[in-house]
Amino acid sequence: MYYKTLRLVLGDQLNAKHTWFEQKDDSVLYVMMEMRQETDYALHHVQKVVAFFAAMRQFAADLKQQGHQVFYFKILDAENRQNLEKNVSFLIEKYKIKKFEYLLPDEYRLDVQLESLSKQLEAQQIEVSSYDTEHFLTSRHFLSDFFEGKKTYLMEFFYRTLRKKYQVLMQDSDKPLFEKWNFDAENRKAYNGKVALPPAFHFQNKTIIYTEILTEIQQAGVQTLGKIDPAHFEWTTDRTESLLLLDHFCKYSLPYFGTFQDAMYTQSTLLFHAKISFALNIKLLHPLEVIEKAVAVWQDKQFDYAQIEGFVRQILGWREYMRGVYWAQMPDYQTLNFFNHQNKLPSWFWTGETKANCLRHCIGQSLEKSYAHHIQRLMVTGNFALLAAIEPSEVDSWYLGIYADAIEWVEITNTRGMSQFADGGLVATKPYVSSANYINKMSNYCKNCFYNEKTKYGARACPFNSLYWDFYERNREKLEKNPRVSLMYKQWEKYDKEEQAKILAQAEFYKTNIEEI
């Protein structure tokens, strides 16, 4: 059997609605690969690897059922070379292929690899073409063109432009609904238990599939982190189930999404969040269908407008924006370290064994579920890493590994950019740091903590408090002139010198004894 064309579908390119799949063509062979190259470039959470492979296997099965020709390399297959170039070359030779086609990858490292492979193939007279994934709402370089010559990229302007372009929540074509673009100020409430939590979504029982994949990756010797229970697997790995999860979110959680999006609560992992990032990032869901569905539900139910605006902002704003930043700034972005932080992450980031309740909860939950919502990532683990002067690459590796939704384009821009301010303020206008004050206001973590959220030094003083002032003091030169931060320095000056010395000594103690926190 020979084929004319080989088409590559990567593990995060599971877009069933792509024009590629509109017509059956027996001269085209689609290839999908489970590879050590992908399982080993970071230490991934075990649920992330299982979820990817399950979604890929289902997608390949669906393509075959529709009549497409598919070659699927499983991780244990003898002919699997575990490497992209080698597997492609193997198939080209085996099936006397004349043309290689691929969808543009989302990751820089794969882009480089595919360009190099393309050159090798062209040298062998194989024709090569690349295609858009038809997933994002902006092209790779839309953002860099939009902000050309600017020192900072203000998300707000980018977001407004896309609202107009896609006519989302607009009136008279160029005015925002209710005459206001941004309702963020109304979206910052702590959860007080008065609004009932949404019912849990019932994930399909695919225990047999998840167990089989788990056994295979273990047999292959793939190293992973975190926990898994195949009988209670909480990721959607096919399009039908992802659409059901989206429906469930719109029905039960969207009406309170904005209000509680910054809240943290020990009794609920999700609160009112959607948990659709994995399905979106591997393209089982399209961002526009997610937005359209959410807007339609809001139009039907007419709940508070701030909720839907807050949600649309995440998908149409932040998600597209982060992708644009990635392609505008890579590969340099991965080396940025504005504060020249050099410390190592404490080992308890991999066990959750710390006396600090907020960190124990967020890390423990991440190890158990491969999920944390935005504020847990930003204002607990990310906040701590920034205050403790952890080297940004250490932080990136942890985030890239632990979350099922972590793909570099959206992980690194959020981690190194938004959370660690390693780009010096390209993405965030000020560093996202806080003392215990914010964590206590937005969560119920402090109530049951070994540490005292009110004290800055002395026995059991909350580490966030002293590290917070230490952060500002040691980065004075870099931050003092930032108008959004200068007020903090005025507040710091109100402490007398003796008090300041005690706070800084306490911070030094925690940094030196970080393993014991």
Query: What span, in angstroms and rounded, lies between the C-alpha atoms of 413 and 161?
Result: 21
Q: Which of 12, 238, 405, 470 binds ligand FAD (CB under 6 A)?
A: 405
- CA angle, 435 then 321 then 300, to 5°: 90
Output 126 or 389, the one with its CB closest to ligand SF4: 389
Rule CB under 6 A: say whether 354 interacts with ligand FAD: no
Contact 255, 133 (CB under 8 A): no
Least distance between ligand SF4 and beta carbon 450 (Å): 7
- Among 372, 160, 146, 110, residue whose Cα is nearest residue 266: 372
Contact 92, 120 (CB under 8 A): no
Query: What span, in angstroms and rounded, lies between the C-alpha atoms of 235 and 18?
Result: 23
Contact 436, 357 (CB under 8 A): no
- Phi/psi for 277 (5° steps) reads -60, -40
Query: What span, in angstroms and rounded, lies between the C-alpha atoms of 263 and 442?
Result: 5
Query: What span, in angstroms and rounded, lies between the C-alpha atoms of 385 and 445?
Result: 18
Crossing angle between the packed helical segments 463-474 and 497-512, to the nearest 10 degrees = 110
Stretch that binds ligand SF4, among 49-57, 63-71, 229-237, 458-466 (CB under 6 A): 458-466
Reported as half-sphere exposure (CB side, CA atoms, 13 A), residue 228 has a value of 25
What does 281 bind: ligand SF4, ligand FAD, none (CB cut-off 5 to 8 Å by kind)?
ligand FAD
Please tell me whether residue 99 adopts helix, strand or coil conformation: strand
Contact 260, 376 (CB under 8 A): no
Rule CB under 6 A: say whether 507 interacts with ligand SF4: no
Least distance between ligand SF4 and beta carbon 437 (Å): 9
Binding mask 461-480 for ligand FAD (x = CB under 6 A): --------------------
Binding mask 407-426 for ligand FAD (x = CB under 6 A): ---xx--xx--xx-------
Q: Which of 11, 324, 382, 417 binds ligand FAD (CB under 6 A)?
A: 382
Show the tokens assigned to 473.
């003091």
What does 356 bind: ligand SF4, ligand FAD, none (CB cut-off 5 to 8 Å by kind)?
ligand SF4
Rule CB under 6 A: say whether 356 interacts with ligand SF4: yes
Characterize the bridge pairing of strands 127-131 and 170-171: unpaired
Rule CB under 6 A: say whether 451 interacts with ligand SF4: yes
DSSP state of 203: -
Q: Which residues contact 335 (CB under 8 A, 6 or more apart)?
A: none
Rule CB under 6 A: say whether 325 interacts with ligand FAD: no
Output 96 or 454, the one with its CB closest to ligand SF4: 454
Output 91 or 356, the one with its CB closest to ligand SF4: 356
Output 274 or 358, the one with its CB closest to ligand SF4: 358
- Phi/psi for 409 (5° steps) reads -60, -35
Q: Which of 44, 248, 319, 341 binds ligand FAD (CB under 6 A)?
A: 319
Least distance between ligand FAD and beta carbon 390 (Å): 12
Return the number of other C-beta atoms located less than 10 Å from residue 150's C-beta.
11
- Residue 328's Cα: distance from chain center in Å? 18
Show the tokens assigned to 5.
């064309």
Query: What span, in angstroms and rounded, lies between the C-alpha atoms of 194 and 280?
Result: 31
SS3 annotation, 247-263: HHHHHHHHHHCCCCCCC
Output 315 or 379, the one with its CB closest to ligand SF4: 379
Rule CB under 6 A: say whether 187 interacts with ligand FAD: no
Rule CB under 6 A: say whether 449 interacts with ligand SF4: yes
Stretch that binds ligand SF4, among 142-150, 158-166, 326-334, 352-360 (CB under 6 A): 352-360
Least distance between ligand FAD and beta carbon 333 (Å): 14
Query: What span, in angstroms and rounded, lies between the C-alpha atoms of 208 and 195?
Result: 37
What does 336 bind: ligand SF4, ligand FAD, none (CB cut-off 5 to 8 Å by kind)?
none
Stretch that binds ligand SF4, among 174-182, 212-220, 287-295, 445-453 (CB under 6 A): 445-453
- CA angle, 45 then 266 then 432, to 5°: 70
Size of the site for ligand SF4 (CB under 6 A): 14
- CA angle, 57 then 62 then 68, to 5°: 110
Least distance between ligand FAD and beta carbon 128 (Å): 30
Output 92 or 442, the one with its CB closest to ligand SF4: 442
Q: Which of 275, 283, 286, 369 binds ligand FAD (CB under 6 A)?
A: 275
Rule CB under 6 A: say whether 318 interacts with ligand FAD: yes
Q: Which of 37, 138, 440, 466 binds ligand SF4 (CB under 6 A)?
A: 440
Rule CB under 6 A: say whether 263 interacts with ligand SF4: no
Binding site for ligand SF4 (CB under 6 A): 356-358, 436, 439-440, 445-446, 449, 451, 453, 462-464
Chain residues that interact with ligand FAD, rule: CB under 6 A: 273-277, 280-281, 314-315, 318-319, 322, 373-374, 377-378, 382, 399, 403, 405-406, 410-411, 414-415, 418-419
